Every structure is written in structure tokens, then in C-alpha cells.
Amino acid sequence: MSFPTSSVIAERTIVLYNQHVVPRLTQRNKVIGISAAVAMSLFYMINKALTPPKKLRHIRYVSILTILRSVLSGEPYWDRAYRIYKPIIDDPNNHDGLYLEYNRAGWEVYICNPDVAKEMLMNQGNFLCTTTTDIYPKLDIPEEAKNTLTDKFMGGPNIGFLNGHQWKTQRKMANPAFHRSMPVRLFGELTIEMFKVMETMGETINFSNLTERWTLDALGKAGFGFNFNAIQDQHSPWVRTYDICNVGIRDPFFFVFPKFDKKYLWLFPKRKLIHDELDRFVHMLQEVIDTKRLSLKDKDYKNEALEENEKDLLTLLIESENRGEGAMTDEELMSNLRFFFIAGHDTTSSALSFAIHHLAQNPDIQQKAREEAIDILGDEPVDVLPTLQETKNMTYINQIILETLRINGPLPTIVPRWTTKDTQLAGTFIPKDIPVNVNLFNIHHSEKLWKDSHVFNPDRFKGEENKSAFLAFGYGGRQCIGMNFSFNEQRVMISMMLRKFTWSTPEKSIHKNGVITDGFIAFTPRNLDINFKKRY
């Protein structure tokens, strides 16, 4: 005779309590009663996550209590990774580079070996059964996480999360927008606009705030044909609403415990206001789509922010629909626009801020990069707009971008996959229906792959030796579609800034001894203050 486990008993108790006890409570005691239900639910979730199931216990794991203590204490991800993960991944006896951690979808296998990561991302492995389906498709949003703030912002039927035919259809429609001639002139003009704003801000500037506004305008004009006016007006409705939503998404508590972002949301009135702001943001985006549809009825319509014959992403998606080459429903179109805000705005904004921080901390590297920018663009005391060809010649600046993405990549992991069959990774058995992920931060900081991994050193990318272990944009057929777009944004802004300014970290900055980050599923520097001095 078998007996139910403690997790099963806890789950049954919670169900009975919610169904039979809470409804019978008086209004006066209901808050206390529901609070007790919340506490029981929290206990159940933690109890369930204390130990992996038997089928996964051959893989070493990180205790959820260790992670919870770290997250709730506000420990930066860098410190947590170096304290908890690096001893695991740099252990000479850990040949497979795998470990387990409990996440929203349950116990998740994390890969910290670049060769194994590529094997998984290419859907090639030593499988123990044979079918023609993908072995590692992207994981669906867990049911308990649906309609949370994060899901409402990033989830849905978009190019980032779909699989199979649906993904291929959307990718085909979006490809032209990212394979045309890059709008480097637009990036340069926005940088000059940013310089003018910096003139009014004094010597010390919150640069992370400025890059968020710069990339918002770059995405708006190049992606949607819409001017958010974020650089000029930091209090614009778009900046205000988007910032509020972004802060909400970065809250680790609601990401780890999604039930509190839905069923028990009423206990967190401030969180409810963020949900309301996201609804407002979606409504504003719908107005952008509706305006674009009306504009395209005019055969002479042109996005004035782009070069001749260039078209923004939203225009291309709607035109392909009008030509019958493929159509996105309103839900799909809206979902993709929200996704591109995260993929095309937040990551590049953070990468630029991290790069400026590291150049502030390393004046010798900053000067070497400046010499390259001057060699390509000249040293005349005027703002110069780089051409696409000139950005291709920025070898050392490109190494700085790569090293920044290695040491402080905005995304610590990729979108999770899951196993559709029993399989093996690096000789380790992985059962069917298990979430699988790649920990980019751990790969990019492993001493097995990068000597003195904590040191900012662009010369790592001087040759091809280390590039095989660099996975900031993913790998294989689903590598980030906006990779070249982001690279060109960064090359243009950094090169123009090197000619215009020298900069350093203020003595009293919180970042003086290492960058402090905010975020959980994506990182950004916390209020990055930089001292700028004009060169002309």
C-alpha cells in the first residue's frame, strides 16, 4: 500500500481549504482566512521545490532555499552566480556542465557547456527514441504563469515563443525588415539629438536612463515608423508608462511566485496599478497599429526617418498581409510588437550602458577605441554620421561590444526549451517533458573557457579562438533576428560618443567597484551615473 507524499497532502489541504473554508468565512475574517491560504500555497510551492523528482536526481541541483535567500535579500546576480553556480560549473569533475534549479515550469536543466548548448539549440542529440518532431521546442508559458504581468507583456503568439510552422511563417514575414540596408543614418541622427539633450544635463548624467530613451526612439522610428519623442521628453506618456511596466517585470518575487501576480493580486495594490499601466500601454500600441494601417492606404506613404526604399518592421508586416503572402491576426501583430520592445529595446539599451560603464572604468581601453573612431571618422570638431561601411571597419569597437555582452550580457539565460522525448545531453540522461535552458552568464564566466573571466578584456575577441563559446544571441536557426540591428546601433552610438567625449565613473558612484544591476530575467545597470567631458 502506498501513501501520498507530503506535497500531495499539502496540495489537497489547500484545495479543501479554498473550496470549503474560505467561502464560509465572514467578511471580517476573510482577509485573515485568505492570507492563511496564501501562506499555505507558498509553503506548498516551496515544499514541492525542495527536492528534484527521482528521475532527475542523477543531476546535481541548487536548493530553492539558497536561491530564495539570495533573491529576497537583493543579492546581485553576479554575486549569486560567482557564489553558487561557478563552483559547480568550474568543478573539474562536472564534465557535462549541467545542473538543476527550480523555476516557474518546475525543475529545469541548465546547460553551462557551449558545445552541449549548441547541440541542444540545433535539435541534434543522442536520442533514445525516434520521431520527426523537434527534440527541444520552446517551452509554453506554464498555466500558472499565464496572464501575469510578464506573460501579458512578452507572451502570446509571437516570433519569440512560437514553434514549428507558425514560427516559420512569422520569421519569413519579419526577415526582410532585418536584412535590408541598416538605418545607420537614423542611429547617428538620434545620437546627435541625444548630444543636444546632454548639453543641458551638467557633467554627471544618468546614462542608463538616457540609453533607454535613445533606444526607444530608435525602435519607434525604425521599427514602427512612430516618434515616441523619448530623447527630448523623459516625461512623455510613452516613457512614463513603459518605465512603470519595465520596473514591474523586473520584480523577482512575482516571477518566481506567479500565483501572487494573478489569484492573490488584490493583496498587492501597487502591483495592480502596474497591470493597469500595461493595459494602457497595449492600448497605446494598438493606436500605433491603427494609424499605420490608415497611413499605408496612401500609396505615397514613406517613413521619413529612413533612407529611400527602406521600410520599417510594422509596414513590412502589414504589407505582406495586404499582398496575401501571410497574415498576422491582430493578436499576433500586437504580441510581436510587445516582444520587440523587450528584444529590440531593453537588451540594446542595457548593452550600451554596460559598454559605457566598462569604458569609464578602463580609460586605456577607452582611448584605444577613440583612436580607432578618429582614424575612421576623422578628428574634425563636428559631429560625424558613420556610414554602414565605416561601421564594418570598427574592429576594436566591435571587440568591446562582444566583451561587454560576454561579461555583462543583458540576458542571463535564453527562452526555455523542453524535451519532447527521452534524450541525452553530454552523455547525461534527460527524461521527456523536462524544461531545458542555457545559462549564458555561466558559460560566459566559466574559467574553463575564459581566463580571468571577471576581467573586462576586449582582446579576447581579437581572433576566432573564443568566439565559439560566445552565445549572447543564441545559436542555430533561431538565433536572434535583430542581432545585426543591435550591433549597428551600438557601433554608431559608441563611435560618435568616443569622438565627442571622454568619460569616467564618479568617485561616489555605487558602480565604482563594479556595476550594480537591476532585474531578474533581464539585467540593466541601476541608475548608471557617468561624468562626461566634451572634446569639442
Which residues fall in the annotated binding site?
480
Task: Return the pLDDT at 2.
Answer: 42
pLDDT for res 307: 75
- Name residue 298's beta-bridge partners: none
Cα 110 to chain centroid, rounded? 17
Tell me how far apart the alpha carbons of residues 347 and 522 are, in angstroms, rounded to a whole number.
8
Measured CA to CA, the distance from residue 323 to residue 345 in angstroms comes to 29
Nearest to 347 by CA among 152, 212, 236, 256: 212
Measured between alpha carbons, how far apart are the two ends of the chain, in Å?
83
Question: What was the pLDDT predicted at 325?
Answer: 56
Please compute Rg for the chain using Cα positions: 24
Identify residue 305 by its one-letter amino acid code: A
CA geometry: angle 311, 313, 314, nearest 5 deg: 105
Question: What one-letter code names the amino acid at 134?
Answer: D
CB 247 within 8 A of CB 253: no
513: left (phi over 0), alpha (psi -120 to 50) or beta: alpha
The per-residue pLDDT for 17 is 47
Give the chain's count of helices (H) and strands (E): 21, 11
Residue 424's pLDDT is 92
Contact 456, 358 (CB under 8 A): yes
CA separation, residue 386 to residues 186, 321, 391, 403, 458 (Å): 10, 34, 7, 22, 22
pTM of the model: 0.88
3-state helix, strand, coil in the chain (%, to 5): 55, 10, 35
pLDDT at 463: 77
Do 524 and 346 contact (CB within 8 A), yes or no? Answer: yes
Other CB atoms closer than 10 Å to residue 250's CB: what's the count? 19
Per-residue confidence (pLDDT) for residue 361, from 0 to 100: 97
Q: For the chain (length 536 residues), average pLDDT per consecutive 10? A: 46 50 52 59 66 92 89 86 92 87 90 93 55 76 87 89 87 78 90 97 95 94 90 92 90 84 90 95 91 83 74 81 66 88 87 98 98 97 96 97 96 92 92 95 94 95 80 89 92 98 96 89 92 96
Q: For position 180, what pLDDT does the model report?
A: 67
- Whose cell is 533573491? That residue is 71
Which is nearest to 184 in space by CA: 20, 475, 391?
Answer: 391
Q: Which residues pair with 501 in a beta bridge?
A: 534
CA distances from 466 to 185, 344, 404, 450 (A): 32, 26, 14, 8
Binding site listing for heme: 480
